[in-house]
Structure 1
Amino acid sequence: MRVILATRIFTPEPAAASFRLQALTDALTRAGHRVRVLTTLVPGAGSSSAAGVAVSRWPVLRDRQGYVRGYLQYLSFDVPLSARLAVTRADVVVVEPPPTTGAVVRVVSALRRTPYVYYAADVWSDAAAQTGAPGIVVALLRRLEAWVLRGATRVIAVSDGVADRVRELGATRVEVVPNGIDTATFHPDGDRQDTGPFLLYAGTASEWQGAEIFARAMPRVLARVPDARLVYIGQGSAWDRLTDLSRELPPGAVELRDAVPPAEVARWLRGAAAAVVSIAPGQGYDFAYPTKILAALASGTPVIYAGVGPAATDVREHRLGWVADYDVDAVAEAMTQALEREDDGATGTRLAAWVEEHRSQRSSGARAAAVVSAATPTRATR
């Protein structure tokens, strides 16, 4: 079977979508399918192929933080994508949000009579409504998103919450496949960053994640743990705000570092007292499950989660760390407890084992690949 993956983000860009889609393509190639990824040109990364996956990259507009995010940026990917899809043969197309990309795929797929699978990591129209977008924009986006979902042969949802919402918007054949993490990269064994007690935020920091809650909590943390540090590794729209907050604290208390390869992130995670992860409530992402959590746990590091939803439930019920209200005092208390905790040596092994059993990238990729395989008649496999 020939599979096209249409996505504005793919490895080596460090993001949850990259991990999720890499797992899917790996599983598809293991099953003997031919995969072609139509994605964007990343500075320093050219076209590449490996083990049955051909990656075709196209130059696009990026925002100040280097993301393909914003309507002009999406347009710079979507318009060329229509032509790229038109000249590439496939038995099934897999498409990631935004819905504008999904709309391009639905139109071209209809013309070429090719089924497509929509990989719903979240619900964009709901997020737009929560972030204060004009009502007419939200209405148009919701209609577009619903149209794309109705046209999909299959929809993959990353959580039960997303699945429920896309069904309300008109999706019919929906399968829930939670995100997984690459346990070959993120594991407790190996080198670790050893620079004194620190907490780590690793990954994208955007407005809906609210990562600044941890920097705002640092004055209270320092009052009890004077040598504590908070390290951010990544990028995102909140980076400027985080930089401003770091300047209000003692030198070195909050450190911001550029994104690094996953293996280097794993080294930092193994050395951290805990990983800090947040989703700001009421932004349309309460049902999100950040992959940052899985990367930390797979590395043997407990998590401090500020927010609500399924991630909070897992952390609390499976004793994977601390859950705090999205509140400075509550977050500061959890951060302090993590820094003062004595490492018993067994916790890391238990956390990694939980991920291996429940949320490994290989198993999640295989489940997603099975959904894609079912989206086209068996006669298309050749």
Structure 2
Amino acid sequence: MQQPSRTLVFGLNYPPETTGISPYTAAMAVGLVRRGHHVRALVAHPHYPEWKIAAGYGQWSRGENMNGVRVLRLRHFVPRNPTPFPRAFSEVTFGLRQVFTRWGRPSSIIAVSPALLSSALVRLRAAITHSRTPFVVWVQDLYGLGVVETGQGGGTGARGIRLIERWLLRSATTVVVIHDRFADRVHDDFGVSKERIQVIRNWTHLPALPTADVVSVRRSYGWSDDEIVVVHTGNMGVKQGLEHVVDAGRLAHLQDSRVRFILVGNGSQRDELQQRIAGQATTTQILPPLDDLSFGEILQSADILLVNELPGVAEMAVPSKLTSYFASGRPVLAASDASGITAQEVHAAEAGIVVPAGDPAALLAGARRLAADRQAAARLGANGRRYRETVLAEASAIQRFDSLLGDPTTDDAAKHSA
């Protein structure tokens, strides 16, 4: 009788966190359960993007069953200020917790990176104790490249990170990346053979959005009918460069422009942004994270959805918010490097326009440009929704993972299955 595949997932982020990598890790795990896998996930307590462990969590270890996935949460050090060194120490403490936890006999292992350092520690143990078990690294961000592009590290530290990332990716059985550009970088920069690289695109983690009562939602937030409302959602970190959005709001105020910028979410830069808003007249406002229903409503009630990136950020990540933006049917305004992955994705979907990153005047002008032609804006929004339904479908992504992990009875991994 065929034994079900036993998949062991290692990831820093997992629901109830709602932003970043967490929804994808959970959807992948649950999707595999629905396809007959036994899935166990070793994850952290919810703490992102607030960088504070959520109320009710924080035990040394905590087991849960979430939609058929056996989840074990491990307490680790969570820095109040996630600058590079505290964040690295945080990842190391989490990795050590994972390393010294009982793994059992999985038929396949998936490590989600970032976190790079904890994934490397997991890979080191796997090489010793589970050397014949297929090891998959799922690359959501290129870690070393991110350190360089955000200006958060350099010199010996950056070289060390790059060496660790190189070793991790080259030692994996398979490297899964979320974009073709990532595949090229993993091959060119780290020497991973193309045969061991698989591209599996991220998808929208939201259910089908019920039609929002736009008039009521806008009224509830105090938005006038004649305002151009530009909404940015998700993490408020260094790589988002959201200080430029506050400055665009200042220009809108000075020019008496009816453009309002809304930042929804939390993150390491939220307090600094709030202070920047308090120190100048601006049309930019900050809202706290929203539940799925309110999140879907605010996306549909905005005129424009914003992706904003720090100048220089081009190759390190594909913003996960784009998948949700495309599902909403609203046009996208991307303040991004013209040659970067974000710009390429927006152009591929024909779902919006791109303006230079770090230029508040260009950001404000882009919002006005989109709002000036409602028919064109509606067409861009419809294009994004179509792209999401065809290119970014969840079912096909989960099927790819299922096929990748394969039948544990047909390879060496069978010797490790229960």
* Paired position in structure 2 for 1:13: 17
Distance 1:287 1:124, change over 3 A: closer
- Equivalent residue, structure 1, for 2:190: 169
1:262 aligns with: 292
1:133 aligns with one of 118, 139, 153: 153
Q: Distance in 2 between matches of 1:245 and 1:343?
A: 35
Counterpart CA distance in 2 for 1:374 and 1:205 is: 41
Residue identity over aligned pairs, in percent, reads: 23
Residue in structure 1 matching 2:30, options 23, 26, 29: 26
> Which residue of structure 2 lines up, in the alignment, with residue 39 of structure 1?
43
Counterpart residue type for residue 295 of structure 2: V
Cα deviation per residue 1:158-191 (whole Å; 9 max; x = unaligned)? 1122212222313330011121113525x36234
The reply on whether 1:298 has 2:316 as its aligned counterpart is no
Contact 1:214 1:328 in 2 (8 A): yes
> Counterpart of 2:117?
100
How many pairs are equivalent?
378
**Residues 118 and 152 of structure 1 are in contact (CA less than 8 Å); yes or no, is this contact kept in structure 2?**
yes
- Give distance in 2, aligned partners of 1:337 and 1:48: 49
**Contact persistence 2:145–2:315 (CA under 8 A):** no
- How far is the alpha carbon of 1:307 from its aligned partner? 0.7
Q: Distance in 2 between matches of 1:123 and 1:66?
A: 18
Match of 2:76 among 39, 60, 66: 60
Residue in structure 1 matched with residue 310 of structure 2 by the alignment: 280
- 1:49 equivalent to 2:53? Answer no
Aligned to 1:247: 278
The reply to whether residue 179 of structure 1 matches residue 197 of structure 2 is no
| Residues 340 and 218 of structure 1: CA distance in aligned 2, closer, same or farther (over 3 Å) | farther
Using CA pairs under 8 Å that are at least 6 residues apart, name the structure with larger relative contact order, 1 or 2: 1
The offset of 1:152, in angstroms, is 0.6
1:307 aligns with 2:301: no
Cα-Cα RMSD: 2.7
Q: Deviations over 1:182-230 (max 9, x none)?
A: 3525x36234431323211110121122122222111333455644322
Query: CA contact under 8 A between 2:253 and 2:281: conserved in structure 1?
Result: no
TM-score (norm 2): 0.82
1:364 paired residue number:
397
Q: Give secondary structure in 1 for the equivalent of 2:386.
A: helix
SS at match of 2:109: strand
Output the amino acid matched with 1:366: Q
Normalization by structure 1: what TM-score?
Answer: 0.89
Q: What code does the residue aligned with 1:108 have?
A: R
Task: Determine the C-alpha separation between the residues in 1 that align with 2:244 and 2:210.
Answer: 27
> What SS does the aligned partner of 1:199 have?
strand
Q: CA deviation at 1:244?
A: 2.3
Letter of the aligned partner of 2:326 in structure 1? L
Q: Report what 1:237 is aligned to.
A: 268
What residue is the counterpart of 2:51 in the other structure? none
Tell me if the contact between 2:329 and 2:378 (Cα under 8 Å) persists in the aligned partners.
no
Q: CA deviation at 1:144?
A: 1.3
One-letter identity of the residue aligned with 2:218: D
Shift of 1:155: 0.4
* Conservation of the 8 A alpha-carbon contact between 1:228 and 1:339: no
- 1:117-173 C-alpha deviation (Å, 9 max, x unpaired): 001112212222342524111122111111111211110011122212222313330
Q: Residue 49 of structure 2 corresponds to which residue in structure 1?
A: none
- Tell me which amino acid in the other structure corresponds to 1:179: N
- Match of 2:157, SS state, is helix
Which segment drifts farther, 259-268 or 92-101? 259-268
1:264–1:145 distance in 2 versus 1, CA, 3 Å = same
For residue 346 of structure 1, report the CA deviation from its aligned partner. 5.3
In the alignment, is the contact (CA less than 8 A) between 2:107 and 2:408 conserved in 1?
A: no
Instruction: Label 1:5 to 1:226 Cα distance change in 2 as closer, same or farther (>3 A).
Output: same
Whole-angstrom CA distance in 1 between matches of 2:43 and 2:346: 34
Specify whether residues 164 and 194 from structure 1 end up closer, same or farther in structure 2 by C-alpha distance, changes over 3 A only: same
1:63-107 per-residue CA deviation (whole Å, 9 max, x = no partner) reads 3379997022112211111012x4433111100122212222212
Contact 1:103–1:144 (CA under 8 A) maintained in structure 2: yes
Q: Distance in 2 between matches of 1:37 and 1:317?
A: 34
Change (3 A) 1:375 1:203: farther
Cα distance 1:313–1:188, how it changes in 2: closer, same or farther (>3 A)? farther
Residue identity opposite 1:286 in structure 2? E
| Counterpart position of 1:143 | 163
Counterpart in the other structure of 2:130: 112
Summarize deviations over 1:328-360 as a string: whole Å, max 9, x none: 221110122344453689544443232111113
Q: Residue 335 of structure 2 contacts residue 363 of structure 2 at CA under 8 Å; is this kept in 1?
A: yes
Cα distance change on mapping 1:183 and 1:366 into 2, 3 Å: farther
* Contact preservation (8 Å) 2:351, 2:382: no
Query: Do the aligned residues in 1 keep the contact of 2:176 with 2:200 (CA within 8 Å)?
Result: yes
Unaligned runs of 5+ in 2: 47-53
Judged with a 3 Å threshold, the aligned counterparts in structure 2 of structure 1 residues 211 and 270 are, in CA distance, closer, same or farther, namely same
